[in-house]
Chain A
Amino acid sequence: MEYILEVFLDENRLNKIKGTSVESQIEAVFGGELKVLRVKIGEELKDQILKAFETARIDSRACITDTPVAFKRALFEEIANQKSLGEEVVKGVLNRIDQIKEAAAKEAEFLPAPDIDISDIE
């Protein structure tokens, strides 16, 4: 079975892959409101990711979700560096798993909330 890792793209990330072969593989979803890159992987890499991160799970779309933000950040870096959406980018991320786990442990305590106005609902 094939599993998917999604990387959402904001302006900053879009700029980093501008002009590369990866740019043409950007998909727009949900009425064009969200841009995403999809990395497809097999059983073996899926198992390694689930083993590495306790929160990771597979959703109804066969997407691997709930991985730490540090993992997603590293995945995007590998995509931008290797200019690829192949399994090799995931292998690149798993090669520095200890470093990612360290960052993930820190983010398990604190994630900065978005700076948006919520006064109308409080």
Chain B
Amino acid sequence: MSELYFNRPMPHGGKLVERVIKDRKVAKKYLKACTKYCKFYDIKPTLHYKRGVPVRNVYREIMSVCYGFFSPVEGSMTSAELESVLSKRRLLSGWVFPYPILFDISKEDFQQLGVSEGDRLILRLKGKPFAMLDIEEIYEIDPEELANRTFGSPETNPEVVREKFDDKHPGWVIYRSYQPIILAGKYTIINEPVFKPPFDRFWIPPRKCREIFEEKGWRTVIAHQTRNVPHVGHEMLMKAAAFTGDVEPCHGILVNAIIGVKRRGDYPDEAILEAHEMVNKAGYIKPTRHLVSFTLWDMRYGNPLESILHGIIRQNMGCTHHMFGRDHAAVGEYYDKFATQILWLKGIPSYGFDKPINEVEGGLQIRPQNMREFWYCPHCKEMAYSESCGHDKEKQKLSGSLIRGLVAEGVQPPAIIMRPEIFKVIVKWWRKFNYPFVNEKYVLYKEEQLEVDLPDLD
């Protein structure tokens, strides 16, 4: 029987990256030595290259690297590693990785800092020491070229890219807004940030997550990617996708929300996390089978590329399966609606994958569960799966956008498309922020507050 069981996959790259100094005495010693010999730099948000609003904060990437979510990445990429990622979507070690991970600063800041290769830089967050960056290489990039090469184009990636990326695409804007000087090298967190409520109770780094799976006896776990509050279609996706597994349905469902700067019109991060938690608190999926967590990342909305990152994160967290739906992590019509599923079922040669992503060398072990969609069928009188329900003509599709429209107009969505408890969570945070969705005010508030505070280390 045991040969039919699926084993928990190894971390991507074979070993979980953990670059956090937890012993405060040791951290203080590092800081004391650094105060004499190192330069200090206050982390700044990346601002939209045209509009000047925050689109990213690199602290989120440092957290995700150092706690192992992005294993085997250990820091800001060197120029050779960047080229390898852009041309082959692989690290120099050969392991698949979709996106550039870079620490960028302006030319003015670089001149003021006066650092060179071999130096150690102390990164401050909210005015307090946060992490060290051991500088291996300093080089310059062209942000527009970086943005274009990161996502590709209809000409270079004809299998899945449908439109040229531009400044309506939030991920392209992030890379386009990078500063031109890259400091490459490994990060080490020396002062562990403390998460604020409600983020604190959903912070489950990969090692902890794997321990929880062991404690719960979850041999198989399916990951659910989210950047949204769940409507009943999402709930059905989770429930149905979890029927996969090995000899029995997946033991656990790990909801992993992406927390960071979002698009205007998305829901606030706080509402997303608590709304997913409400799915289990209200009993729609038992809490013994459902766990809510998050990863810090300013989403790039790169559909198939984003799905690779999601696969890496959730494999590192210990999941055996990952559900993927239509338009995974997508925005607009830049990609084929099923680009992610094409990647995981056939591969996308122009991105460097002539086979499915878990069959290529250096690929992933997590298994995809590719799902089509759910709609309301008035004939079946239930939320039905598109590949099962035969009443195509009668189908009533629901989408997050439809529900956002109802919410904005003050109309409570019918319970058949959004659970009333979930709507109440939206209203709770609506009252706090005077707005149900992300707007410019919320983006600025989040940038000022972030998800964390830093303790004193001096």
Contacts and interface: CB of A to CB of B under 8 A. Distances in A.
Q: How large is the interface on A (under 10, 10 to 19, 20 to 34, 35 or more residues)?
A: 20 to 34
B427 A6 contact: no
A57 B278 contact: no
Interface string B400-438: 111011101111111111000100110110110011100
B402 A59 contact: yes
A114 B420 CA distance: 13
B332 A57 contact: yes
B435 A59 contact: no
Contacts of B399: 59-61, 63, 65
Contacts of A121: 278, 421, 424-425, 428
Interface in A56-96: 57-61, 63, 65-67, 69, 72
Contacts of B415: 33
Contact of A114 (B263, B417, B427, B441): B427
Looking at A8, A30, A120, the one whose CB has the most chain B CB atoms below 10 A away is: A30
A31 to B, nearest CB: 5
Nearest to B406: A8
Nearest to A117: B424
B451 interface: no
Contacts of A114: 410, 412, 427
B427 A30 contact: no
A60 B373 CA distance: 10
Nearest to A33: B414
B236 to A, nearest CB: 14
Interface string A101-122: 0000000111111101010111
Contacts of A116: 412, 424, 427
Nearest to B400: A59
B66 to A, nearest CB: 34
Contact of B439 (A57, A59, A109, A122): A109
A90 B414 CA distance: 27
A66 B265 contact: yes
A33 B431 CA distance: 26
B332 A113 contact: no
A34 interface: yes
B36 interface: no
A102 B215 CA distance: 55
B378 A31 contact: yes
B431 to A, nearest CB: 5
B333 A58 contact: yes
Interface residues of B, number: 48
Contact of B435 (A55, A109, A118): A109
Interface in A34-69: 34, 54-55, 57-61, 63, 65-67, 69
Contacts of A2: none
Contacts of B326: 60
A10 interface: yes
A11 B127 CA distance: 53
A29 B435 contact: no
Contacts of A66: 265, 401, 404-405
A60 B397 contact: yes
Contacts of B441: 109
Contacts of B431: 113
A58 B326 CA distance: 14
Contacts of B263: 55
Contacts of B35: none
Given A57-B332, A66-B265, A111 B435 contact: yes
Nearest to A69: B408
Contacts of B414: 30-31, 33-34
Contact of B402 (A6, A31, A55, A108): A6
Given A61-B402, A110-B434, A31 B408 contact: no
Given A113-B430, A121-B421, A108 B416 contact: no
B327 interface: yes
A63 B412 CA distance: 19
A31 B414 CA distance: 9
Contact of B411 (A10, A108, A109): A10
17 contacts: A29-B396, A30-B376, A30-B396, A30-B398, A31-B416, A33-B414, A33-B416, A57-B265, A57-B331, A59-B400, A63-B399, A66-B265, A72-B408, A72-B409, A109-B441, A110-B435, A121-B425
Q: Which 10 A-B pairs have the closest CB atoms?
A: A65-B401, A33-B414, A59-B401, A59-B399, A113-B430, A118-B424, A61-B397, A55-B265, A121-B424, A113-B431
Given A8-B411, A31-B416, A33-B416, 7 more contacts: A60-B327, A60-B399, A65-B399, A67-B405, A108-B264, A116-B412, A122-B428
